[in-house]
Amino acid sequence: MPTSGLTGCRCPRAEAVSQAHRGGLSVSASGFLPQSQADVYIYSEQLWLGKATVDAGGTVSMSLTIPTWVTPGGHTLQFVGYQGPYTSIALSTGITVATPAASQVAAQPAAREFTARFRRGSADLAPTARAGIRSVVSAAAKVRAGATVACTATHLEPATAQAGTLWVSREAAVNVFLSNAGCDTVTIGQGTVAVASGQPGLAIRIAAFAG
C-alpha cells in the first residue's frame, strides 16, 4: 500500500482537535479514486473514526469525533482508500489531541475496535478472534451503566462470486456472534480494512460504540 504525507488536507491544529471531543472536526484529503470509499483512522493505537465517499474530483471530506478516551498528545490521522481500481493508498498527517474537559468525558460516546481474521475458506472465527471481539464489546458496555452498545462490522468487497458467497455466511456468523456478545444493534457492510500483516481479504473490522 503506497503511503505518503497528506496533501490537499484541511489539517487540524492542536486547539482544533480539542474541539473534536464534542464532534465536528472537519477534515478532507485528495488523491483518491473518484466515487470510491475512504476510511479515517487515528494512531498510535489503531482506531477507526469513520468513512465517506470520495467525490468526482478525488477528494473525501468528513466530520470526525475523537473519543475522549484517546490518550492526549501526538497522534497520526490517516486516510485509507484507493488511488486506482486495484491500488490502495494511505495518506497521513500528525495531529495533537488535547485533554478533554470532565463534562466532555461524561457526554462523549465511547468506541472500541478490533480487527479479526477468518481462516481461509472458512466462516468460523478463531478463538483469538472471538476473544478480541468480546473484549471490545465488553469495554464499550462498561463505559456507562445501561449504555446501548452499537456494533459495526466492515470487510473488503469480495473479489469473486465464490468469495461473495462465503462472505454471506461470514456476515451471518458475525451477526449472531455480536448479538450474543452483547451488541444491542449490529450493522455489517463493505469498506476498507487496514491490516498490519496478512491478507486484508480475510479480515473484518469490528467497532463497538457505547451511547
Range ranked top by mean pLDDT from 110-119, 121-130, 135-144, 153-162: 153-162
Identify residue 135 by its one-letter amino acid code.
S
Rounded CA-CA distance 49/41 in Å is 5
Rounded distance between C-alpha atoms, residue 151 and residue 90, angstroms = 25
**Average model confidence (pLDDT) for the chain?**
75
pLDDT of residue 20: 47
Most confident of 5-9, 44-48, 207-211: 207-211
140 vs 66, more confident: 140
Q: What amino acid is encoded at 162 in this protein?
A: Q
pLDDT score of 2: 43
pLDDT digits (tens, 9 = 90+) for 10-45: 444 444 444 444 455 777 788 888 888 887 877 766
| Cβ density class 42-71: b for 16+ within 10 Å, e for less | beeebbbbebbebeeebbbbbebbbbbebe
Alpha-carbon span 63 to 27, nearest angstrom: 6
Find, among 65, 54, 206, the residue nearest to 132 by Cα: 206
CA 60 to chain CA centroid, Å, is 16
Q: What is the pTM of this model?
A: 0.51
Segment 125-135, tens digit of pLDDT: 877 788 878 88
List the domains of the chain with CATH numbers.
3-102 (2.60.40.10), 109-210 (3.30.1330.60)
Better pLDDT: 102 or 51 = 51
Question: Using the 8-state DSSP alphabet, how is residue 119 labeled?
Answer: P
* Mean pLDDT across 105-132: 73
Determine whether 178 is exposed, middle or buried from the number of CB atoms within 10 Å of its CB (0-12, 13-18, 19+): buried
Highest-pLDDT range among 40-54, 102-116, 159-173: 159-173
Choice between 204 and 105, residue whose per-residue pLDDT is larger:
204
Q: pLDDT grade, residue 114 (50/70/90)?
A: confident
Q: Is the dihedral of CA 175, 176, 180, 184 positive or negative?
A: positive
- Specify the pLDDT at position 156: 86
